[in-house]
Structure 1
Amino acid sequence: MCGIAGIFHLGTPKPVDPARVTAMCDAMLHRGPDGGGVWTAPGVGLGHRRLSIIDIAGSPQPMASSDGRAMLVFNGEIYNYRELRRELQQSGAQFHTDGDSEVILAAWQRWGTDCLSRLDGMFAFAIYDLAARTLFLARDRLGVKPLFMAPLSDGSLAFGSELKALLAHPLLRREVDPLAVEDYFTWGYVPDSRSILKGVSKLPAGHSMLLRHDAPLPRPSQWWDVSFAQRRKGSRADLEAELLHLMREAVRSRMVADVPLGAFLSGGVDSSSVVALMAESSAQPVRTCSIGFDEAGLDESAYAAQVARRFATDHAARQVSSGDFAEIDRLAAMFDEPFADASALPTWRVSQLARETVTVALSGDGADEAFAGYRRHIFQHGEDRVRRLLPASWRENLFGTLGRHYPKADWAPRPLRAKTTLLSLAGDSAAGYARAVSFAPPELRARLYTPVFERLRGDYRGEAAFETLMREAPGRSGLDRAQYADLKFWLPGDILTKVDRTSMAASLEAREPLLDHRLIEFGASLPESMRLRGGQGKWLMKRTMRRYLPDDILYRPKQGFVTPIAQWLRGPLEDDMRSLVSGSTLAATGWLDTQALSGLVDSHVSGHSDNSRILWQALMLDRAFTTLGIA
């Protein structure tokens, strides 16, 4: 796992200052503390920071191809590199290292851009072809590894694994994009379709670009997608066997490393499944680690300990307390862009804990998106049945009116919190699901925005891109389209961003076996009844794992990596909340109504309502502005 950066001149191939590329790489030292390098030629510069995982001493980067005609910088892991190496050797390729980086170079020289479909792994890389004078940028299928890009005023394109690499370039403009702020308040993160800074973009997951010195900047080209349009046939037993085989192979392939390896273990279905299959494949006890909370109602560490005992793992546990938010500025700095998923804190802490004994950790991320494991998938499935029964005009009048007048009953038992469901039913499937996934609904955003910000935002809505993605998704049902949008929008924007930045902040490589593309494609092809049945998500996966895990792990209510943020904002972080109203960088923008924000703080602190999500969003936006140097 590493960090990459580079500069490429579009037009006249001007000289690239190696010191500038070095500065970009040094801004990401945490991603690669084991070494680094820079290579430049007329019009191009490539830089690399290395965290050594495979072929520890033998694969320095930037790396030249065996014939010297191409140079590579690469962030990630290619899990099938040994098989590809053998195939390439049979066609005459020669190798001087034992790692996966040289295999990517040989694959590029053998198959060109078509090499991507042969790579099984997580990656973002850049290859400069000295003969063709082209730069090839590529990102893995699901966006596990990031890649930021920005055209600069000198005619060059700067790129890097994190925004902080671009921030190290003196020509990068630090102007906030108001549309990204709208996106952020809608989702709690800035999605891959945008960046917090104007002029900065992200190469989308499953896309590549081929750049030439004598041509304008091209649009990214999609090289992989997933379809929910087909339905796999077969008995339950046959599908279980196929799923188990795919899961075993995905876990086994990600256990290859020349450094100590372990796993995150929350005690939920997904991480427990990964640990079970690791234990099956390992002759030694699996090293596991978990994080608990000092809020008993949110602490899952007992379930993690139960799974650790079941598989005799070498288990380590640690507790997160409210005092951890003394490092809130450090948390914000990891992401550069504003990021409001509060589970980033325990993810960082569990990464730090893992790094004390291992360099690579397997996680359980991805199964919810692939096999319909979120509670919202169950609701979406049920709501679509209601939508099919009632005309849109009836639903809009009936449910819309009820939803607008229904109280925001945060204090009530979950079945009585019907406001979101009523408003969701008033719209079509895409609009309803976007509301279910979003952090702050349009009504709340409208209360917070000042006329100044409304003019900057114009008629743009943060939900628009997500709804379009759903409506155009290759699928048969609302559930298909919801899962597709989760995989293409929510997963890279939230889940994978969180895991990449927090694990890399601890110089730890995180691998996600349940995001193996064959598993994702298998899940997308399952009949709905194999994904959802009897109010249970991930139905087939849970049936498959019953041979390994007890029912109290498989079928207990899903909790996730929940953080007691609401309690913390009423306690140790109350002063931070109050400071947002006046004197903060965010307040100085004039974009948020400070009176409305103050009212949300008062209502939350008094316990009258739970406004923790929107308040945490505002706090993290303020900290991001400070990190970015926005005055």
Structure 2
Amino acid sequence: MCGIVGIFDMQGGRAIDRDVLHRMNESQFHRGPVEGDLHLEPGLAFGHRRLSIIALEAGLQPQFNEDESIALVFNGEIYNYRELRAELQGLGHVFRTPSDSETIVHAYEQWGEDCVGHLRGMFAFAIWDRPRQTLFLARDRIGIKPMHYALLDDGMFAFGSELKSLLTLPGLKREIDPLAVEEYFAYGYVPEPRTIFTGAKKLQPGHTLTLRVGQPLPAPKQFWDVPFKPHGAMSEQDMEAQLIERLREAVQSHLIADVPLGAFLSGGVDSSAVVAMMAGVTEGPVNTCSIAFNDPAFDESEYARQVAEQYKTKHQCETVDKDDYGLLDTLAALYDEPYADSSAIPTYRVCQLARKRVTVALSGDGGDENFAGYRRHRMAMGEHRVRSLLPLAVRKPVFGVLGAVYPKADWAPRMFRAKTTFEALARDLTEGYFHGVSINNDRIRSQLFSNGFKQKLQGYRAVEVMRGYAKNAPTDDPLSLIQYLDMKTYLPGDILTKVDRASMAHALEVRVPLLDHRFVEWVSGLPSNSKLRNGEGKHIFKKALQPYLSNDILYRKKQGFSIPLAAWLRGPLREAMRRAVLNPALLDTGIFNPAFLKQMVDEHQSSAKDHSTTLWSVLMFDAFLRKNGATAGDMAPAIAAAA
């Protein structure tokens, strides 16, 4: 586990400044505080920061093949490296180290770009093939590990694990992408492949990028997708048995490490399932950790304690003040671009706690995406059943009018917010789902943005991200489609980004066995009614786990990792929020409608309405701007000209 950076001369042969590479590498020191190294040759430079997990004394990078004509920098873990190593040795390859990273080098030697299909794990890596004058980049199938890149005006191509490594480059254009702003305020993050800056991109999950000296920058190529290929006929009992067998195998494959290893334990179904499987395949007690809140409304620690006692884990729990709001600027520095998921705060704290005892922690992330566990999945399918009764040509005018005239009831549970429901019913499945997951829907964003900025967007709407994925989805089953959309957007853009940055800030490696690609492939082929049945998500998952976990754990109401956001913005963050949302620097960007910002602040702080989600997204955007200087100012003249 580590951070990687590199610079590649697209024209070939020019010297690369060592100091520039050093600054890139050191910007990611937190990802690999154990050791680091630089490698430079004409036209190519690699940097690496290492957090030692496997082969502690032999994993320094770059890694080379036998004649050093191929070099690798790598971030991640390859869980099947021992099997691959044996296969490659049988094919004549000679290994110098016991590390998993060297396995990738020889896999590339043997299979070229197809090497990615042989790898099981989480990875982002770059390979320099000197004889072919080729740079090959790859990112794992699900997007667990990050990869950012940029082509500079001087013909130099740069890449790094985190965007902050590229921000050290004087040649990187820091102009904010207006389309990324639209997407951020819809999703709460900037979805792949865009970044907040026009000059940088993210390599999408399951993609590779091959660059050759003297050739233009090509488009990335996809090497994997979630198949959603139905299995043959299978009884529910067989599904349950296979599910446990495959889950246990996935968890066991993720336990290779030469350092202390443990697990996050929230007391929810997913993390509890991972701990239950770990306890069955490891010798000695499992190290588990959780955080408690000093407010019962946000505290799940009692459920975590129950699971810890059942499996006799070495459990560690610390209490966090529910008013733990002092991390705003820290989060802006971690994420490098605006990021509005407020659960980043407790995630940061649980990673901080885990690192006190372990270097590697397994998490339960991915269970909701695999097994349709989110409430929004139930809501979307309920809305879809209503849609199926009437054609879009009838629904759109009828429910569109009702959505426009019906009062907005923020205070009510989602199912009773008729305005939101009517608006969703007036749309097709993809747009309805987008409407449901947006942190700021189309109506709010229209009020939030200035007229000049809306002209700058030229009609672009963030729903196009989902529409692009839906167009190429490997399934036409409605539930599978919305799961697929989550796996392409929310999972890599929000969940995995949050965990990667929070864990790496503390030099902690987090592994996600529920997102093992073999497990994901098999689960995707299960029938939809085995996942969501009678309004209950994760049906088959919970049924299979009944011998391992109590009904109190399996069937209690989903709580989530939440914080009292609305209360913060009316209480301890009241003045800070008002200053941030109404500060002149933010307004000078030309992005926002000042009157609507003031209206939201006043209405929220008087308790007339709950605007906490929108205000938090603006607050985090302001924190991003302050962290990155005057980068947004580049937009103001263009917006003013468009107004």
TM-superposed deviation, 1:457: 1.4
Matched residue type, 1:574 = R
Aligned to 2:359: 359
Tell me, what secondary structure is at the counterpart of 2:489?
Answer: helix
Matched residue type, 1:43 = G
Tell me, what secondary structure is at the counterpart of 2:388?
Answer: helix
Aligned to 2:464: 464
Please show how residues 276-287 of structure 1 align to structure 2 within 5 Å: 276-287=276-287
Aligned to 2:251: 251
Tell me, in whole angstroms, the C-alpha distance in 1 between the residues paired with 2:322 and 2:385: 43
Matched, 1:184 2:184: yes
Aligned to 2:638: none
Matched residue type, 2:77 = E
Mean Cα deviation higher: 316-325 or 330-339: 316-325
Matched residue type, 1:75 = N
TM-superposed deviation, 1:67: 2.2
User: Does the CA-based 8 Å contact 1:294-1:321 persist in structure 2?
Assistant: yes
Tell me, in whole angstroms, the C-alpha distance in 2 between the residues paired with 1:180 and 1:409: 29
Matched, 1:103 2:103: yes
TM-superposed deviation, 1:323: 4.6
Mean Cα deviation higher: 190-199 or 25-34: 190-199
- Structure 2: 5+ residue runs without aligned partners? 632-643
Tell me, in whole angstroms, the C-alpha distance in 1 between the residues paired with 2:251 and 2:448: 45
Write the deviation string for residues 470-502 of structure 1: whole angstroms up to 9, x where unpaired: 243111321111111111111111111001011
TM-superposed deviation, 1:40: 1.1
TM-superposed deviation, 1:296: 1.9
Please show how residues 211-610 of structure 1 align to structure 2 within 5 Å: 211-610=211-610
TM-superposed deviation, 1:327: 2.7
User: Does the CA-based 8 Å contact 1:136-1:208 persist in structure 2?
Assistant: yes
TM-superposed deviation, 1:416: 2.1
Matched residue type, 2:469 = L
TM-superposed deviation, 1:230: 2.9
Aligned to 2:55: 55
Write the deviation string for residues 201-251 of structure 1: whole angstroms up to 9, x where unpaired: 111100001111121111100000112253442111111111111110111
Tell me, in whole angstroms, the C-alpha distance in 1 between the residues paired with 2:542 and 2:447: 43
User: Does the CA-based 8 Å contact 1:252-1:281 persist in structure 2?
Assistant: yes
Tell me, in whole angstroms, the C-alpha distance in 1 between the residues paired with 2:223 and 2:135: 17
Matched, 1:611 2:611: yes
Mean Cα deviation higher: 509-518 or 56-65: 56-65
Matched residue type, 2:502 = T
Matched residue type, 2:48 = H
Matched residue type, 1:559 = Q
Aligned to 1:127: 127
TM-superposed deviation, 1:504: 0.5
Aligned to 2:42: 42
TM-superposed deviation, 1:390: 0.9
Write the deviation string for residues 568-609 of structure 1: whole angstroms up to 9, x where unpaired: 111111112111343353222121112211111121122222
Mean Cα deviation higher: 154-163 or 286-295: 286-295
TM-superposed deviation, 1:156: 0.7
What percent identity do the matched residue pairs reach? 52
User: Does the CA-based 8 Å contact 2:396-2:426 persist in structure 1?
Assistant: yes
Matched residue type, 2:66 = S
Write the deviation string for residues 32-78 of structure 1: whole angstroms up to 9, x where unpaired: 00000111111110110000000011110112212211111000000
Aligned to 2:13: 13
Tell me, in whole angstroms, the C-alpha distance in 2 between the residues paired with 1:621 and 1:417: 28
Tell me, in whole angstroms, the C-alpha distance in 1 between the residues paired with 2:422 and 2:476: 24
- Spell out structure 1 runs of 4+ moving beyond 4 A: none
User: Does the CA-based 8 Å contact 1:269-1:554 persist in structure 2?
Assistant: yes
Tell me, in whole angstroms, the C-alpha distance in 2 between the residues paired with 1:99 and 1:176: 40
Tell me, what secondary structure is at the counterpart of 2:82?
Answer: helix
Tell me, what secondary structure is at the counterpart of 1:192?
Answer: coil
Tell me, in whole angstroms, the C-alpha distance in 1 between the residues paired with 2:579 and 2:514: 42
Mean Cα deviation higher: 233-242 or 579-588: 579-588
Tell me, in whole angstroms, the C-alpha distance in 2 between the residues paired with 1:441 and 1:324: 28
Tell me, in whole angstroms, the C-alpha distance in 1 between the residues paired with 2:453 and 2:416: 34
TM-superposed deviation, 1:544: 0.6
Write the deviation string for residues 126-148 of structure 1: whole angstroms up to 9, x where unpaired: 00011111111000001100100
Write the deviation string for residues 82-136 of structure 1: whole angstroms up to 9, x where unpaired: 0101111111111111110110101110111111011000000000011111111
User: Does the CA-based 8 Å contact 1:250-1:514 persist in structure 2?
Assistant: yes
TM-score, normalised to structure 1, is: 0.98
Tell me, in whole angstroms, the C-alpha distance in 1 between the residues paired with 2:601 and 2:294: 23
Tell me, what secondary structure is at the counterpart of 1:547?
Answer: coil
Note closer, same or farther for the CA distance 1:322–1:372 as it changes in structure 2 (3 Å cut): closer
Aligned length: 631
Tell me, in whole angstroms, the C-alpha distance in 1 between the residues paired with 2:401 and 2:245: 50
TM-superposed deviation, 1:413: 4.3
Tell me, in whole angstroms, the C-alpha distance in 2 between the residues paired with 1:564 and 1:406: 28
Please show how residues 126-205 of structure 1 align to structure 2 within 5 Å: 126-205=126-205
Tell me, what secondary structure is at the counterpart of 2:546?
Answer: helix
Matched residue type, 2:387 = R
Tell me, in whole angstroms, the C-alpha distance in 1 between the residues paired with 2:29 and 2:276: 34
Matched residue type, 1:488 = K
User: Does the CA-based 8 Å contact 1:229-1:476 persist in structure 2?
Assistant: no
Matched residue type, 2:64 = A
Tell me, in whole angstroms, the C-alpha distance in 1 between the residues paired with 2:283 and 2:345: 33
Tell me, in whole angstroms, the C-alpha distance in 1 between the residues paired with 2:584 and 2:191: 25
Mean Cα deviation higher: 27-36 or 518-527: 518-527
Aligned to 1:626: 626
Matched residue type, 1:100 = D
